[in-house]
């Protein structure tokens, strides 16, 4: 079965540090890729998405992600984190095909804590 | 524009009680989804409805039923709640094309 893996469960950084969160998936076909953020007590918000085209995707709040097809990866990056980036981050994938119906498969989530 | 609205926001049940979680979207989306979120496991798909009149099982459907009442509404029912169903439940909708799913605010459900 197709799966999505986020290898870092909890990442702790100081403000201004650079961030990279890993995401890998297991599927050799066409994929649609997403990163969502969930602030404490809130619903999921879309950070960025990739469907096709330029594999380097820029999202909101200064985040970006790079799709590397050969590595089945879609890592999330931010050059300089802020305390307000403290949240849980989810990678999600649509394994596109005839009957995907837009169903999302999520990674386990990475909790990011940023210290002032 | 409310987007995806879930009710209730919080609920406590006793084991064996039944409960229906409501979800409605006002974006004229065709597809709707129910997920549960558990610590360390991300979100897992319970059921989905690709279009009005159709429903299908997702990854973790056991213990749940759904109804796509019309294009706007997609409800999730627990017939006999179990402690293992303690979770946060999210409803989402999708309009199609290269668009992301839109999520509701979630329902936090505790079963004692």
Mean pLDDT by 10 residues, chain B (112 residues): 88 96 95 94 94 93 95 96 96 84 94 96
Q: Which residue of B43, B52, B56 is the best one to mutate when testing the A interface, meaning the one whose CB has the most A CBs within 10 A? A: B43
Confidence (pLDDT) at B55: 96
Q: What is the CA radius of gyration of chain B?
A: 13
Cβ <8 Å between A44 and B105: no
| Structure confidence by residue, pLDDT tens digits, A91-111 | 999 988 666 778 899 999 999
The encoded tokens of residue B111 equal 């079963």
Q: Do A104 and B43 touch (CB under 8 A)?
A: yes
Query: What are the chain A neighbours of B45 within 8 Å (beta carbons)?
Result: 103-105
pLDDT at A69: 93
Q: What is the pLDDT of residue B103?
A: 93
Average pLDDT on A1-26 reads 94
């999921």: which residue's tokens? A44
Give every CB contact of residue A91 below 8 A, 6+ residues apart in sequence: A4, A6, A21, A23, A25, A33, A34, A35, A74, A76, A106, A107
pLDDT tens per residue, range A60-77: 999 999 999 999 999 999
Strands A64-68 and A73-78: antiparallel
pLDDT at B98: 73
Which chain B residues are within 8 Å of A106, Cβ to Cβ?
A: 35, 42-44
CA distances to A101, B19, B74, B81 from B111, in Å: 31, 11, 22, 7
Q: A6-17, pLDDT tens digit by residue? A: 989 999 999 999
Which of A21-30, A41-50, A85-94 holds the top average pLDDT?
A: A85-94
Tell me, what's the pLDDT at A99? 67
Alpha carbon of A116: minimum distance to chain B alpha carbons (Å) = 25
Q: What is the pLDDT of residue A2?
A: 84
The residues that bridge with A110 in the sheet, in sequence order, are A89
- B94: closest chain A residue by CA: A102
- pLDDT score, position A7: 87
Average pLDDT over chain A, rounded to an integer: 93
Judge contact between B102 and B27, C-beta under 8 A: yes
Q: Which residues pair with B105 in a beta bridge?
A: none
B104 contact residues in A (CB cutoff 8 A) = 43
Closest alpha carbon to B34 in B110, B78, B93: B93
Picking from B96, B42, B46, the residue whose alpha carbon sits closest to that of residue B74 is B46
User: Residue B57's beta-bridge partner residues?
Assistant: B47
pLDDT exceeds cutoff 70 at A36: yes
State the best of A36, A60, A104 to mutate against chain B, taking most chain B CBs within 10 Å: A104
Per-residue confidence (pLDDT) for residue B60, from 0 to 100: 96
Contacts of A6 in chain B (CB under 8 A): 42
A35 closest CA partner among A62, A69, A70, A2: A62
- Which of B31, B41, B43 lies nearest to residue A102, judging by beta carbons? B31
Give me the pLDDT at residue B80, please: 96
């Amino acid at each position: 079965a197709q799966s999505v893996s986020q290898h870092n469960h909890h990442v702790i950084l100081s403000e201004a540090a650079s961030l990279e969160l890993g995401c890998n998936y297991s599927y050799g076909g066409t994929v649609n890729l997403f990163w969502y953020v969930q602030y404490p007590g809130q619903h999921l918000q879309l950070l960025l998405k990739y469907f096709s085209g330029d594999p380097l995707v820029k999202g909101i709040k200064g985040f970006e992600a790079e799709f590397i097809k050969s590595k089945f990866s879609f890592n999330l990056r931010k050059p300089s984190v802020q305390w307000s980036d403290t949240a849980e981050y989810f990678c999600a994938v649509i394994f596109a095909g005839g009957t995907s119906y837009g169903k999302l498969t999520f990674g386990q989530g990475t909790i990011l804590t940023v210290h002032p | 524009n409310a987007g995806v609205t879930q009710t209730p926001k919080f609920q406590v049940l006793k084991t064996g009680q039944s409960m229906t979680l409501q979800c409605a979207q006002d974006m004229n989306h065709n597809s709707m989804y129910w997920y549960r979120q558990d610590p360390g496991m991300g979100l897992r798909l319970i059921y989905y409805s690709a279009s009005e009149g159709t429903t299908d099982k997702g990854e973790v459907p056991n213990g749940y039923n759904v109804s796509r009442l019309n294009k706007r509404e997609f409800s999730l029912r627990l017939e006999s709640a179990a402690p293992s169903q303690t979770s946060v439940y999210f409803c989402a909708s999708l309009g199609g094309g290269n668009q992301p799913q839109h999520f509701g605010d979630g329902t936090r459900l505790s079963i004692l």
